[in-house]
Structure 1
């Protein structure tokens, strides 16, 4: 297989991953009992579960044919360095972030709905979002512009931020872009997805911890 045809094949895989993710996001809104799922706060966790199952399976299928998007390994120095950078990023957000109505709306559900939401945000979403964005989408750009790592990371990060359509404030989109740039750097430096998945989980845990503390623990 030539390099060009290999790039085309991998680009089709990457496009397929996005189509799967987007299709699930659209189709869940046509599920039976959609109003009940929404009222109980279970629609978002269910969506995440379906996307997790589909994209993990798709990634495993990709990995049987290609090795370019590896899981990599967690190295102590890299984990510590990027954890510090992430915590500094989270700390700086207190200066400019505004509360999002979508996030605040999650507190109005039952404990089951809230716990399901937090589990989806902390465990499921980081895995399939890293597979999709720092895995397939970033890789698709790098296939055709391997020397433009920064540009590919910026485009991927803007894409990542803009597709979080549940958020309304510009400050949140800026925060998501910065987070994604950090995750792209972690992906490129570590050579795999494990480090960005860990960082994404850590970031989301700090995001939902106040909700759990106020509505479940206390």
Structure 2
């Protein structure tokens, strides 16, 4: 990949790092502000949706501002985007989740308490609440988290050689896993780490965000869709 033509923030080390870390931190600040505002006036599902929506608007706006001078129209999908790469990425996510659910079922591991509560909220809530939660995990979370992790956090690293690309993939995967500590079992965290490695690799391979976002959305759909199959 030609780094000077790649869809990253800057080729200048210090400026890139400052903007990248600032964008990454801003994602969580926007969520925190949203939580503070919306949880005062809304039910938990609507407040959670509102907080993530606010974070996505902030991150999307920042992304567009930083990309405003680009002359290339395919920065978002990536210069190396292909439908084959998209298909391979989605297939990899499907295999990962089928194997993960199959393994925990084989060893008799109970359902994740967080997932159990989440499924109860989807099934037991009103239609609007259920739809809000589904949109949150299939649209808002993939959009916001991919911008935060696979765009801004990855921009901390220079990407001028294979070593730095590998470091970026592993470090972002570790941080991504670390913020999902609402999960209780090591097996779930391992699966999340593998997923994060796949998302980061897709980001580097294609040079864009479209493939990792679709893969992330697919992972969320599978997490919810496969749950009733293994935990009735």
Q: Shorter chain as normaliser: what TM range?
A: 0.7 to 0.9
Gaps of 5+ in 1: 214-218
Deviation at 1:36, TM superposition (A): 4.2
Residue number among 66, 69, 76 corresponding to 1:71 in the alignment: 76
**1:181, CA displacement in angstroms?**
0.4
CA distance in 1, matches of 2:27, 2:39: 21
Deviation of 1:145 after TM superposition, in Å, equals 7.1
Which ranges of structure 2 fall in alignment gaps of 5 or more residues? 1-9
Aligned-partner SS, 2:163: coil
Q: Structure 1 length normalisation: TM-score?
A: 0.83
What are the equivalent positions in structure 2 for 1:13-92 lying under 5 Å apart? 13-31=19-37, 33-34=39-40, 36-38=42-44, 41-64=45-68, 70-73=75-78, 74-92=81-99
Give the 3-state SS of the residue equivalent to 2:68 in structure 1.
helix
| Secondary structure, aligned partner of 2:199 | helix
8 Å CA contact retained: 2:77, 2:206: yes
CA contact (8 A) 1:52 1:128 kept: yes
**What is the rounded CA distance, in whole Å, between the counterparts of 1:46 and 1:70 in structure 2?**
28
Equivalent in the alignment of 1:216: none
Q: Give the TM-score, by structure 2 length.
A: 0.78
Higher helix share: 1
* Partner in structure 2 of residue 100 of structure 1: 112
Between the aligned partners of 1:79 and 1:91, the Cα distance in structure 2 is 18
Distance 1:138 1:197 in 2: 15
How many residue pairs get matched?
208
Could you tell me how far apart the structure 1 residues matched to 2:114 and 2:18 are? Answer: 33
| Alpha-carbon offset, residue 207 of structure 1 | 1.9
